[in-house]
Structure 1
Amino acid sequence: MPAYDSLLASITTDAVSARDVFDPATGELIGRAPLLTSAEADAAVDRAADAQAAWAALGHEERSAVLHRAADAVEAQSEALAQILSREQGKPLNGPNARFEVGACVSWLRVTADTPTPTQVVVDDGSDYAELHYRPIGVVGAITPWNWPMMIAIWQIAPALRMGNTVVAKPSEYTLLSGLALIAVLNEALPSGVLIAAPGDGGIGAGLVANAAVGKIMFTGSTATGKKIIEASAGNVTRLTLELGGNDAGIVLPDVDPEAIAEQLFWGAFINTGQTCAALKRLYVHDDVYEAVCDALVEVASSMPMGIGLDEANVLGPLQNAMQFDVVDRLVEAARRSGARVLLGGDPKRDQPGHFYPATLIADIDPTNDLVVEEQFGPVLPIVRYTDLDEAITLANGLDVGLGASVWSADRDRARDVAARIEAGTVWINSHGGVHPMIPFGGVKQSGYGLEFGVDGLKAASVPQVING
C-alpha cells in the first residue's frame, strides 16, 4: 500500500463519532476523522500525566535523542504528510506550502532538540551562589489552528517535550487529519503516553483549558478565543502562551526599487494564500513610488498559478473553508463599493468547486476601510497611499493588534529607525513573515503574550526554579 494510503487509513475511522473531511479545492470526501468525547479527552490528560514523570526522568540528552528520532520519522513520511496536508488544508505541494511546512517540522524538531538548556548562574560573588533552572510543568495542552496545522503543532509540541512535559494536542476541527497524521508519525519514535491526540470541536479545547491537571496551554488562533482561554484558565492559574490574531502593516519608504521588492512583498502577503497570522495584511506606500509599487505587485501576482494543491504547477490554493471565503468576499465587496480601485482579482468564480478566491490587490483605499482595519486572512492586499511618514506610522500603530510589521527601504539604518517606532512583536526589514527556530517570536497588544522558539521557547515550556546556596 502506498505511504499516503497507509497513513490515511491509520487515522481515519468508520465510527459514528467522526467528522467528514472534504478537500477544499474539489469538495471531494477525503475520509472521516475520529472525535473524542469529553470523558475520553479527560482520560487522555490522565494518561499523559501518568507518563510525565518517566519522560522527565530521561533527562535532556535522551529526550533530545528521541526528538531527533521523531524528526527522522517525519522526514521518512514527509511526502505522505504533505499530501494529506495539501488535500485537507488546500495548500499546494510546492512553493512555501505543504512540502515546505513538513520540512519546517523536521527542522524545528532538530533545532529544538539541540538548543542548549537555559540553566544560568545568576550570582557567584564569593559569598552568595544561585542558579536558575527550568523544570517541567507537567502536562501541556497544545491547541493548534487550521492554517499551518503541522508546523504550528511542532512549535508547541517540540519545546514542551524537550523540557520534560507530556502533551495532549488538540488539532483544529478544520484540519483534523493533518494533526492526527503528524502525531501518529511522531509517536513512532515517542514513548507511549508522551504525546496524545485529542481530536474534537471547541468543547474539547475548552475541557483542556479547564482541566486542573493541565499545567500550561499553548494556543494559536483568534484573539476572541484567546480571551476566552484567559478567562477559563484563571481558576487554575494555568500558564499560557497565546499567539493571537494579527493585522500586520508594511511601510514602504520612497527610496525603494519597486521591482526589486515586489516578489518579497507578494510572498509576505500571499504566503499560504494569505492565511497566515503574521502575513502582510495592509501596505502603506509613499506617494513617490505608489503607482510603481502597485504595477510591480500586479505583475508578480498575476504570474502566480492558483489551483488544486496536488497539481505540481500551483503555488496558491483555495481558502481552507467556506467561512473564511465569506469573510474575504465581504471585505473585498465593501472596499469595491467604497470606491477603492481593484488592480487585480476580486471576482471569484462561484460556479466552480472549491473555495478559491483569486489573488486580489486593492489600491486607493481609505485607511479606515474595513478591509484595512479588519484581518482578512486571505489572498487580498489593500495598498494605502501616504505622503507623511509620521502619519503612516500612526496608522500602522492604530489597531489593537501587534504581531508583526515590516519596513521597506534602500537605507537599512533608516528602516531600523522606523522599525523602532512600530508597535509589533517582530519588525522585519525588506522582508515580511520569515521565522527562524532560534529567533524569539510573539505578539504585543491583543496579539497575545509569551515567546516561542529558541531558548525563550524552552523557558516558556517550563517553570523556573532558583537553587540558592
Structure 2
Amino acid sequence: MSITTTTHASYATAADLLAVIQPSTGGRDILDPATGELVGRAPEHTAADLEAAVSAAREAQPGWSALGHEERSAYLNRAADAVEASAEALAELLSREQGKPLNGPNARFEVGACTAWLRATASFELEPEVLVDDGGRAELHYRPLGVVGAIGPWNWPMMIGVWQLAPALRMGNTVVMKPSSSTPLSVLALVHVLNAALPGRVLQAVSGDRTVGNLLVEHPGIAKIMFTGSTDAGKAIIRNSADTVKRLTMELGGNDAGIVLPDADPQTIAEDLFWGAFINTGQTCAALKRLYVHEDIYEDVVTALTETAKATPMGVGLDENNVLGPLQNKNQFDIVANLVQAAKDSGARIVLGGNPEQGQPGYFYPTTLVADIDNDNPLVAEEQFGPALPIVKYSSVDEAIEMANALNVGLGASVWSSDKDKAREVAARIQAGTVWINKHGAVDPRVPFGGAKQSGYGLEFGVEGLKHLGQPHVISY
C-alpha cells in the first residue's frame, strides 16, 4: 500500500473552516446555543457513506500498522502542529457551536488540550513485556485491533475526540469517528485539520443521527468502539455490539462526589472547588456534582463558594470577558431547571441563582448553589450536568463516605483537606475510578482514567490506555 499525506494548510477563522467542511447543498442547520444564530450546516451522512468510510479505513489499516510506532508517533506530532496552526479558528468554531467561552478552561483550553494529548500519546513507550524467562520465555505484545469506531459527546467534542483517536492511531488502528449530532462541525473541522498531516484514509468522520451511530456500533468491520456519553446510551451500545463481540471502552455518567474534611480552609479551596464543579458550565463527565461538607465549616464553605461564583462572569462565548457559557442544548437546560425546581419545592435553600431569565436568547442557566439539601434529593442523586451544585452537610466522615458511595456510578471523586495523609485515608475508601485530593477533574494524559460501577469500563490515557487499543498477543517459546 502506498501512503501519502495531503498538503498542510492552516485556517485563520471559523468561516474559513466552515467553507471546507459544509456540504455544497443541503445539510442540517447548527445553531449557536448562546444566541440562536446560525453557525453552519452539517452534512447528513448516510448508511452508504458510513460503509464507504469503514471500507476505506479497513483498506488503509495494514499500511498504517506497518509503519511502526516511531513513524506513527511522528505523524501524531505533525498532526499536533496542524492543530496549533489553526488553533484560533478551531476555538472560535467550538465556542460558537458548543457555547463555551474562548477564555478560561474552555474553547482555547480545549484546543490546546488536543495538541497536548497528541504529543503526549506520541511520546509513550510500549515495549513487549517479558512474562517468563527461566529456560522458557513468554512475551506479551500488543497488536492493532483493526478499525476503531469513536463516538464522541457534545460537551468536549474536540478534546474527547482526540482522547479517542490519538491512542487508536498510535497503536496502528485506523479510525472512523461519529460526532454528537449537537456538535458535528467542531469534530469535522478538527478531523479536516488533522488529515492535512495524516496519511489518507486512516482517520475519517461520519456525521449523522443516532441511526448512523447504531450502524457503526453494529458494523462487522469495526473491531472496537470507544464511547463517551450517558450510561443509558452506553448500555445500548453494549447491547448493539454484542453480536460482533466488539472490544469496548465506555466512559459513562459520573455524578462525582467531593468530600470536604473539617480541617480544610474554605477560602483556600474555594476557587478550586468552584472550577471542579463549574468547568464548562458544569457540562463535564468528571465534574464535581455533589459536595459533602462537614458541619463545622459548612457555612464558611457555602459563603466562600458564593463569593467565587458571583465574581465569575457568564455570557456569550465570543466575548473575551466571559468564562461561563450557556448549556449546549434545550434538553440539558430543561434537565437542570427541573432538578433545581424540585430542590426548591423540597425546601432546600437556594443560595445563589436558580432563576433563569425569561425571554432571553440562548440556553443560559445562572450559576446556582443549593444548600441544606437532603442526600436523596434528585438534584443530588441524579447527574445534573449543568451549573447547579448541591451542598450536603455531614457530621462524621463515615457518614460522608457512605453517602458518596451510595450511587451506582463512580467516575471520579475528590477529598479536600489540609492534611494529605487524612485525605488519602478517605480517598482509599471511595468507590471511584479516580479520587483527587484538593482538586477535581484534573486529568493528565500520562495517568490512566476510567470509571467504576456503572460509570463504565476500560481505561484511557497513558501506556495503559494504549494497551486498551491493542490486541494482547502472547508469544511463548
Range class of TM-score, shorter chain? over 0.9
Measured after TM superposition, the shift of residue 14 of structure 1 is 4.0
Could you list the per-position Cα deviations for residues 256-312 of structure 1 after superposition, in whole angstroms to 9, with x for gaps in the alignment? Answer: 110000000000000000000000000000000000000000000000000000000
Equivalent position SS for 1:150? helix
Give the partner amino acid of 1:12.
Answer: Q
Retained in 1: the 8 A contact 2:35–2:316? yes
Partner of 1:381: 389
Give the partner amino acid of 2:305.
Answer: L
Under a length normalisation based on structure 2, what TM-score does the superposition of the two structures give? Answer: 0.97
Task: Select which of 80, 101, 108 maps to 1:71.
Answer: 80
Task: Select which of 454, 458, 464 maps to 1:450.
Answer: 458
Does residue 405 (structure 1) correspond to residue 418 (structure 2)? The answer is: no
In the alignment, the residues of structure 2 paired with residue 141 and residue 426 of structure 1 have an alpha-carbon distance, to the nearest angstrom, of: 25
Partner of 1:30: 39
**Against the structure 1 CA distance between its residues 2 and 152, is the aligned structure 2 distance closer, same or farther, given a 3 Å change threshold?**
closer
What RMSD in Å do the two structures reach over aligned CA positions? 0.8
Equivalent position SS for 2:291? strand
Equivalent position SS for 1:427? strand
In the alignment, the residues of structure 2 paired with residue 103 and residue 118 of structure 1 have an alpha-carbon distance, to the nearest angstrom, of: 29
Under a length normalisation based on structure 1, what TM-score does the superposition of the two structures give? Answer: 0.99
Retained in 2: the 8 A contact 1:118–1:455? no
Retained in 2: the 8 A contact 1:258–1:293? yes
In the alignment, the residues of structure 2 paired with residue 144 and residue 132 of structure 1 have an alpha-carbon distance, to the nearest angstrom, of: 31
Could you list the per-position Cα deviations for residues 329-350 of structure 1 after superposition, in whole angstroms to 9, with x for gaps in the alignment? Answer: 0000000011000000000112
Could you list the per-position Cα deviations for residues 23-67 of structure 1 after superposition, in whole angstroms to 9, with x for gaps in the alignment? Answer: 000000011110110121111101100100010011111101011
**Against the structure 1 CA distance between its residues 60 and 2, is the aligned structure 2 distance closer, same or farther, given a 3 Å change threshold?**
closer
Percent identity, please: 67
Could you list the per-position Cα deviations for residues 424-447 of structure 1 after superposition, in whole angstroms to 9, with x for gaps in the alignment? Answer: 000000110000000000001000
Give the partner amino acid of 1:22.
Answer: L
Measured after TM superposition, the shift of residue 131 of structure 1 is 1.1
Equivalent position SS for 2:318? coil
Number of aligned positions between the proteins: 467
In the alignment, the residues of structure 1 paired with residue 442 and residue 294 of structure 2 have an alpha-carbon distance, to the nearest angstrom, of: 24
Retained in 2: the 8 A contact 1:223–1:447? yes
In the alignment, the residues of structure 2 paired with residue 3 and residue 51 of structure 1 have an alpha-carbon distance, to the nearest angstrom, of: 31
Does residue 356 (structure 1) correspond to residue 356 (structure 2)? The answer is: no
Partner of 2:119: 110
Retained in 2: the 8 A contact 1:118–1:458? no
Measured after TM superposition, the shift of residue 2 of structure 1 is 4.3
Give the partner amino acid of 1:101.
Answer: E
Retained in 2: the 8 A contact 1:397–1:423? yes
Does residue 174 (structure 1) correspond to residue 169 (structure 2)? The answer is: no
Equivalent position SS for 1:395? helix
Task: Select which of 85, 95, 103 maps to 1:86.
Answer: 95
In the alignment, the residues of structure 2 paired with residue 235 and residue 121 of structure 1 have an alpha-carbon distance, to the nearest angstrom, of: 34
Alignment of 1:97-136 (within 5 A): 97-125=106-134, 127-136=135-144
Measured after TM superposition, the shift of residue 392 of structure 1 is 1.0
Structure 1, gaps ≥5 residues long = none
Partner of 1:234: 242
Give the partner amino acid of 2:78.
Answer: R
Give the partner amino acid of 2:210.
Answer: G
Partner of 2:475: 467
Task: Select which of 2, 7, 12 maps to 2:22.
Answer: 12
Could you list the per-position Cα deviations for residues 354-410 of structure 1 after superposition, in whole angstroms to 9, with x for gaps in the alignment? Answer: 000010000000110000000000001000001021111111000000000000111
Task: Select which of 278, 288, 295 maps to 2:286.
Answer: 278
Retained in 1: the 8 A contact 2:142–2:473? yes
In the alignment, the residues of structure 2 paired with residue 6 and residue 84 of structure 1 have an alpha-carbon distance, to the nearest angstrom, of: 10
Partner of 2:312: 304
Alignment of 1:186-201 (within 5 A): 186-201=194-209
Task: Select which of 224, 245, 254 maps to 2:253.
Answer: 245
Give the partner amino acid of 2:459.
Answer: L
In the alignment, the residues of structure 2 paired with residue 91 and residue 295 of structure 1 have an alpha-carbon distance, to the nearest angstrom, of: 26
